[in-house]
Copies of this chain bind each other. A is one copy, B any other.
Amino acid sequence: MEQSEIDLALDQVRAALEAGKIDAAIAALATLHPADRAEAFADLPRDDQNEILPRLNTEATADLLEELEDEEAAEVAAHLSPETLADVLDEMDPDDAADVLGDLSPAQAASALAQMEDAAEVIPLLAHADDTAGGLMTSEFFALRRQMTTQMAIDFLRHQHPATETPYYLYVVDRFNVLIGIVGLRDLIAADPQATIESIMKRDVTAVVVGTDQEEVARLMSHYDLAAIPVVDAEGKLVGVINYDDIVDVMEEEATEDMYRLANLPGDEETFGSVFGSVKRRLPWLIINLGTAFLAAWVVSLFENTIAKVAVLAALQSIVAGQSGNSATQTLTVIVRGVALGEVELKDAWRAMLREAGLGILNGAAIGLIVGLGAWIWRGRPALGFIIAAAMIGDMIAGGIAGALVPLTLKAFKLDPALASAVIVTTVTDCVGFGLFLGLATLFLPYLQ
């Protein structure tokens, strides 16, 4: 559907709602793709949502909950009666239903589960953390037995209730339900109808266990170009399947989280959430930064006597700290992203640090030369130029080492390499930069006055 068609339908929905014609609004919404419908619904004021919601049938409500963001879906679900909610959850994909149940209050979730028909499919999924393979998987998948013929498998597929999530692969299990092979849908079609599944299946299956972190699942699926990956328990029994669309969401989520953390933001900031919510999320990080800013200010204050005599130092100190901070942030970003994409591992730590320190020397020398010449020409004092150039090289080396070492150390302690890295690294470049520059200036004060 074209963007212009979507905008047109949205305008119709809004016009109908303003005229008080709820049925016309629902009809206009119904013309949209479920993904666009959910987006349009989420954009409506809460009052309009509450008018529309009770008039949607079970299937339309299930579609809506499947497509909405997790928090929005939970909020909508909380507005439904336990009976309606149970029907809607029965209609949904088990993994999406489990996500909604996980975000409800325990009492609401229990009362909905008690009235669900397919509760048995959903309950096992509730046991897993959202950000693990178990939390992402669906229990709706096709498992074949190795003795079946391909014709039997095709008939089996034909008579299954059509799943809403398309299966790309069929999995083969033994009598203990242990995963032993995989058959592509297309290979099934192409095979001799009398051939057994065992004869056409591929035995080398890439699978993950339920507790695998979602970032690792995404990395595997991306590395091996998989449209779906089977999930097994500790005994190798097939318990679920993760489809590529869930992984696309995970990849977006993880990239956003890393970006936000590099900018000292918590991972869950919403672009147009409440302003007070954003203050609550951002302020703590600004306060942590403030502590480190005072530390840097204290370093400067140690040299107040020097600054009082040569006030231009105050103008130039920020260049040293700022440039090194920029250079260190470049290093930090390359390392954090490299770790996320699986290109940098702990065994590379030493190599990465030496490389970035080397870059610091080269970039520091180049920038130091320019800044030194600039300062010399501006103020007519060669000593000022030498001091700022030396401080710049020293601080850039420190920044290169910190920019590589901090995220890799966090990784070694199994923490997110992006977490708080930026604060620590810029604190290093600020304190080293101010201290080196003003310290050298104090030492060579006679040549500056």
Report which of B185, B259, B301 forms a contact with A258, defined as CB distance below 8 A. B259
Inter-subunit contact A333/B259 (CB<8 Å)? yes
Could you tell me the distance between the alpha carbons of A351 and B162 in the complex, rounded to whole angstroms?
44
Interface flags, A331-349, vs B, CB<8A=1, else 0 = 0111101100101100010
Q: A35-B223, A286-B327 are in contact. Are A304 and B294 (CB under 8 A)?
A: no
Report which of B186, B265, B283, B337 forms a contact with A363, defined as CB distance below 8 A. B283
Q: A222-B248, A252-B222, A263-B332 are in contact. Are A271 and B338 (CB under 8 A)?
A: yes
Report which of B276, B297, B330 forms a contact with A319, defined as CB distance below 8 A. B297
Could you tell me the distance between the alpha carbons of A312 and B306 in the complex, rounded to whole angstroms?
11
Residue of B nearest to A298 (CB): B315
Binds B, one of A83-91, A231-239, A367-375, A409-417: A367-375
Interface residues of A in 129-161 (CB under 8 A from B): 154, 157-158
Residue of B nearest to A302 (CB): B315
Could you tell me the distance between the alpha carbons of A158 and B150 in the complex, rounded to whole angstroms?
13
Report which of B157, B304, B344, B362 forms a contact with A271, defined as CB distance below 8 A. B344
Inter-subunit contact B275/A362 (CB<8 Å)? yes
In the complex, how many angstroms separate the beta carbon of A136 from the nearest chain B beta carbon? 14
Whether, in the assembled complex, A282 has its beta carbon less than 8 Å from a beta carbon of chain B, the answer is: yes
Question: Which residues of chain B have C-beta atoms less than 8 A from A263's C-beta?
Answer: 262, 329-330, 332-333
Q: A293-B318, A293-B322 are in contact. Are A337 and B260 (CB under 8 A)?
A: yes
Binds B, one of A52-60, A98-106, A352-360: A352-360
Residue of B nearest to A305 (CB): B311
Which of A264, A351, A352 has the most chain B CB atoms closer than 10 A to its own CB?
Answer: A264
Inter-subunit contact B162/A186 (CB<8 Å)? yes
Q: A158-B189, A358-B275, A363-B279 are in contact. Are A259 and B256 (CB under 8 A)?
A: no
Whether, in the assembled complex, A317 has its beta carbon less than 8 Å from a beta carbon of chain B, the answer is: yes
Residue of B nearest to A354 (CB): B275
Report which of B1, B227, B316 forms a contact with A166, defined as CB distance below 8 A. B227
Whether, in the assembled complex, A78 has its beta carbon less than 8 Å from a beta carbon of chain B, the answer is: no
> Could you say how many copies of this chain the assembly holds?
2
Whether, in the assembled complex, A296 has its beta carbon less than 8 Å from a beta carbon of chain B, the answer is: yes
Q: A168-B166, A251-B252, A262-B262 are in contact. Are A271 and B359 (CB under 8 A)?
A: no
Whether, in the assembled complex, A428 has its beta carbon less than 8 Å from a beta carbon of chain B, the answer is: no
Q: A158-B190, A341-B252, A367-B286 are in contact. Are A317 and B319 (CB under 8 A)?
A: no
Could you tell me the distance between the alpha carbons of A258 and B44 in the complex, rounded to whole angstroms?
30
Inter-subunit contact A275/B359 (CB<8 Å)? yes
Question: Which residues of chain B have C-beta atoms less than 8 A from A334's C-beta?
Answer: 260, 265, 269, 271
Could you tell me the distance between the alpha carbons of A287 and B370 in the complex, rounded to whole angstroms?
9
Whether, in the assembled complex, A430 has its beta carbon less than 8 Å from a beta carbon of chain B, the answer is: yes
Q: A1-B206, A227-B227, A248-B248 are in contact. Are A316 and B297 (CB under 8 A)?
A: yes
Apart from A166-B168, A227-B244, A279-B366, list 10 A-B contacts with CB within 8 A: A35-B225, A157-B186, A244-B244, A248-B248, A259-B262, A259-B333, A263-B329, A279-B363, A307-B308, A322-B430
What are 26 sample pairs from A and B whose C-beta atoms fall under 8 A apart?
A: A36-B223, A157-B186, A162-B190, A166-B184, A166-B185, A168-B168, A221-B248, A222-B252, A252-B341, A258-B259, A259-B262, A260-B337, A262-B262, A265-B330, A272-B351, A279-B359, A285-B330, A286-B327, A287-B367, A290-B319, A294-B319, A296-B319, A304-B311, A307-B308, A308-B308, A318-B430
